[in-house]
Structure 1
């Protein structure tokens, strides 16, 4: 395969994933638009519950990362039975975990929301929203997992197409269940989360129909056959990556406790800036998925020279994508932040964040490319051992800058940027070392 053909294949997989991620962003905007009419406290409660939702989505990687890795390897090895068995066992294992999480979250969610310092009205809104999400957890979990089965086969287009159906349906149903339009009940903020659960439940039928039609899974009758052959492998691959992602999702609320010492404007500014930065993150996520899929398939073929080449060509492509975005962050950050804010102070803080992270933003792309490569090979411990300490290190470094050195809020942005740079660089070096060992064997 020539470099041009490889680039074309990676872009074919990456673009639908990128579009799907943008769809999530657009849906969040629409969702908040409807919810905002219920009051500021309701928005605050839902936003706080969103942190829990974010951590929950990261935790789901416990099974879906391993599922995707093993199925892509089975596809490369042309072992259809293994692909079928992994898919079935991953779905069964995910259902067990989802049921356990439901029980756990019903017990701990009130305490977690109170820990965030919400007033009674915001707390009630957040809990009413999230308890419906908890009830729908098995649906969300299996929806995410089935998407990874499509990705493992290199079929991101179908997966994202069905995701788009779910998001559009959700956006349409939101006002009906929030405000009780027509014959529908008026459930307020609970209606927003119910619309989400219902939309993904209906779209899950589409997922299974296409999975069976494309022969990505065995007959649905076989799902009543229980086995644990791949349980250990699925978890051993998924737990390290999921752990790193959960830690990443928890660090930002921790950093917020330092940011808010400078007022609400810096927090608002970085929140808007994160949405702008999301374009770089989503692009990197698309190419990370492409790298994971192709690396997994070539690992199944035992073609480690091609594995190495895919990872490095992925790094080349994401570099070409991120550099123009980094230049925009450096040169016109105020212009970008104005799309989400009109307060001069909020714009100033958001622009400051973009300008600082723009210096090392390239390494965000590298980090995600090599996360995908380690996932595809099925050796995720090196990624975890680099990612977790450096992600956790953001908090003590920011604390040191602010409390010990007396630096301003921009020093927190530097703590984030420095850790991003180190993660991208060290993961690149660690992958090269791993490939050298594979070549020797």
Structure 2
């Protein structure tokens, strides 16, 4: 029997909240969800921090590799979120069901293929890509376990994007809260050998990550396809229906995946440069990255608000509304960036009590990195909103790729090698290079955003 109505989520046009409230309704739960995810990583870092600086470096270096896989494949979730928002705006229930179901099938296939290959070569991979022998030895088992989590992480990215665009932004946050609490308890128990549990060291944190990633994907699947019928499981029936779903899915996902690949590889290569200065410099960089992530993602909900609200406006053919949402979200980003930037700077006071075992040199380097990056939080948040929200919503993924390539590979990384390895600045030079990269990306993203042709985009979505 054909469907006669859209799913049971709240029709975004059934009420008229203020623009600020509508942005907050989407952005706040998403930001809280990502903060919880990064708190999970931070807790793992604190737990393994009791094992010393090499353990911190091993977990951070391994995470930077699996981060490449997770974020690159997670571009499928961004693509699905944009298409779901457009389907909601146009009230196309069948297209919504086909898009989500096909995306889940694709995520399962890609996630399985991409996670198994590095798992087989885990024994040698860390050393081959630049880890010191001590870091590679400490991190191999952890890396092998977390790379298997790529599949459920990718599936969770897809399902979370669906729920946000379908009017249920708090649901992914609830799933994340449950699994973060579980992860923290499991990680502490397995790393330290609490009670009847074996003391697995760094590998214990890997087991916690894998188990809770699987649990989160199952919870989100129940939320999407369960009793509330946010989406019904419905594969396309004909070749024409498959084409109508898969082509736009990959038209967005492939370029987004490429840009995420460039971004994550660039982040990883910075870690390689830090490693050239020693395990302590790498450990300090991981502490800064993890702490910064917690405060940067306090604004990440604005990116989700952009893709959702602009996508709905494009789907309903309202160009003026799409442009207005872009302007409002960018303005909101300034306020959140200033607030969270100040909190990030104050977090330098947490280094002594949380990372006492890492050593005074590690804490000093991390403190310098925190203060430098906190001063430029506004730039990073603007890049996140425009580069990951506005440009993909405007179908200008090439602009995102251009910004990431120029920022990281033309400006940032060469400057990091020059300042970090060939001047007395050392680790300070690498942190400075990353800030200059963000300024270069800001210039590219801002230029490309001014060139988006919303009229053409609305015509294509009709």
Q: TM-score, normalised by structure 2?
A: 0.82
Alignment correspondent of 2:103: 90
Alignment correspondent of 2:292: 277
The one of 37, 41, 47 equivalent to 1:28 is 41
Give CA-to-partner distance per residue, 1:10-42, whole Å, 9 cap, x none.
112111122122212322233344445667655
Q: Following TM superposition, by how much is the alpha carbon of 1:59 offset from its aligned partner in structure 2, in angstroms?
A: 1.5
Alignment correspondent of 1:146: 159
Alignment correspondent of 2:169: 156
Asked if structure 2 preserves the Cα contact closer than 8 Å seen for 1:68 and 1:151, the reply is: yes
Q: Closer, same or farther in 2 for the Cα pair 1:327/1:4, shift >3 Å?
A: farther
Q: How many residues align?
A: 438
Q: Closer, same or farther in 2 for the Cα pair 1:279/1:107, shift >3 Å?
A: closer
Q: Closer, same or farther in 2 for the Cα pair 1:271/1:292, shift >3 Å?
A: same
Q: Distance in 2 between matches of 1:208 and 1:329?
A: 34
Q: Distance in 1 between matches of 2:16 and 2:368?
A: 38
Q: Following TM superposition, by how much is the alpha carbon of 1:434 offset from its aligned partner in structure 2, in angstroms?
A: 0.8
Q: Say yes or no: does 1:375 pair with 2:392.
A: yes
Alignment correspondent of 1:194: 207
Q: TM-score, normalised by structure 1?
A: 0.86
Q: Closer, same or farther in 2 for the Cα pair 1:38/1:333, shift >3 Å?
A: closer
Q: Distance in 2 between matches of 1:15 and 1:80?
A: 27
Q: How does 1:272-351 map to 2 (within 5 A)?
A: 272-326=287-341, 335=349, 345-351=361-367
Asked if structure 1 preserves the Cα contact closer than 8 Å seen for 2:112 and 2:151, the reply is: yes
Q: Following TM superposition, by how much is the alpha carbon of 1:223 offset from its aligned partner in structure 2, in angstroms?
A: 5.3
Q: Closer, same or farther in 2 for the Cα pair 1:241/1:39, shift >3 Å?
A: same
Alignment correspondent of 2:5: none
SS at match of 1:434: coil
Give CA-to-partner distance per residue, 1:349-407, whole Å, 9 cap, x none.
34443444445432211111112122334442222222222122311122344567765
Alignment correspondent of 1:10: 23
Q: Distance in 1 between matches of 2:230 and 2:347?
A: 44
Q: Which blocks of at least 5 consecutive residues in structure 1 are unaligned?
A: none
The one of 214, 217, 231 equivalent to 2:231 is 217
The one of 390, 393, 401 equivalent to 2:407 is 390
Q: Which blocks of at least 5 consecutive residues in structure 2 are unaligned?
A: 1-12
Alignment correspondent of 2:442: 424
Which segment is superposed worse, 8-17 or 342-351? 342-351
Asked if structure 1 preserves the Cα contact closer than 8 Å seen for 2:163 and 2:171, the reply is: yes
Asked if structure 2 preserves the Cα contact closer than 8 Å seen for 1:74 and 1:300, the reply is: yes
Which segment is superposed worse, 31-40 or 309-318? 31-40
- Cα RMSD (Å) of the superposition? 3.4
